[in-house]
Amino acid sequence: MLLGLQCNREPGMRVHHLNCVSTCPLGGRLMDGRSPSVLQRGQLCCHCLLLETGAGLVLVDTGLGLRDVAQPRSRLSGFFLALLSPDFREEMTAVRQIERLGFHPGEVRHIVLTHLDFDHAGGLDDFPQAQVHLLQQERDHALMQKTWLDRQRFRPQQWSSRDRWRVYPLRHGERWFGFDCVRQLDGLPPEILLVPLLGHTHGHAGVAIQLAHTWLLQAGDAYFYYEEMDLDGPRCTPGLRFYQTLMEKDRRARLDNQERLRGLLRRRDASTVEVFCAHDPTEYERLSGRTLRMPAEEAVGPV
């Protein structure tokens, strides 16, 4: 476990769970496991976190942003627009939900990214004063635009913030509950950690947050369906299993990290660690206490 993180915890850190624009994939129940039919579109969330800290507001992922909602065809690929058909509602963007919570967008001082896929980084433009934190390997591979699929998923149109990116090499960091190269982030409280979870992309990471009596681990796209973390027999819907295979950059690393996440849950009981991913609606609704279509409106306490 990382040294030094059991003392001097920031008092009263508050966590807000935000769904920053749902996606509605083809396949319905084959994707989300709960839609009435396979003939209608499903519904997945984009589970972001807003943290109230002494260093200002910290946003973990951004979801899709105002410019994506206003001009989707100039910002996003036709392939993913057709496949996922995002539910473009301005009130569901991170910046509008932050305003509804009573904050000014300029109070968001830091953004921590799990990775640079379009549905996680689309709102970067909405926070022009924020420093952005991510793994160096994620930045480098996204900038290469090496394959056709890379050019569909990594959208430079969303990256006006590039001069404010603070990147971290994989070779540094410490060990945390079985995960390697975990590190604290410059200018952020020590209770917020970047946890490499490679596989979905070459520089994919989770974000761990230490609260008074529990850890939260936002695992990004390390998995997509809540039953993938079932210790008695993990399972995934056929559609999301296919989608994860389509999008993976390193299959062995992705599957190994899923097993490490299950191992974390085996070793630590639910009162000690809460693991959740970016797109599962069941996890999101349980943690937020809201349906996917309801924006945040008032402050809530820590999970």
pLDDT interval class at 273 (50, 70, 90): confident
**What is the dihedral angle through the alpha carbons of 28, 30, 33, 37, rounded to the nearest 10 degrees?**
50
pLDDT computed for residue 252 by the predictor = 98
pLDDT interval class at 269 (50, 70, 90): low
Number of H helices, E strands in the chain: 11, 12
Instruction: Yes or no: say if 13 and 284 are a contact pair by the CB < 8 Å rule.
Output: no
Question: Domains in the chain, please, with CATH?
Answer: 14-288 (3.60.15.10)
pLDDT computed for residue 302 by the predictor = 44
Place of tokens 């319905």: 28
Chain segment 35-86, per-residue pLDDT in tens: 999 999 999 999 999 999 998 999 999 999 999 999 999 999 999 999 999 9
Residue 92 has pLDDT above 60, yes or no: yes
pLDDT interval class at 271 (50, 70, 90): low
Element at 289 (helix H, strand E): none
Mean of the per-residue pLDDT values for the chain?
A: 93
Chain segment 148-159, per-residue pLDDT in tens: 999 999 999 999
Rounded to whole angstroms, what are the CA distances from 28 to 32, 40, 82? 6, 5, 14
- Six-digit token pair at 206? 């989770």
Instruction: Yes or no: say if 218 and 49 are a contact pair by the CB < 8 Å rule.
Output: yes
pTM for this predicted structure? 0.94
Q: How far is it, in rounded angstroms, from Cα 245 to Cα 248?
A: 5
Residue 12 has pLDDT above 80, yes or no: no
Rounded to whole angstroms, what are the CA distances from 259 to 185, 192, 201, 228? 26, 23, 17, 9
Q: What is the CA radius of gyration of the chain?
A: 18
Lowest average pLDDT, out of 64-73, 74-83, 122-131, 262-271, goes to: 262-271
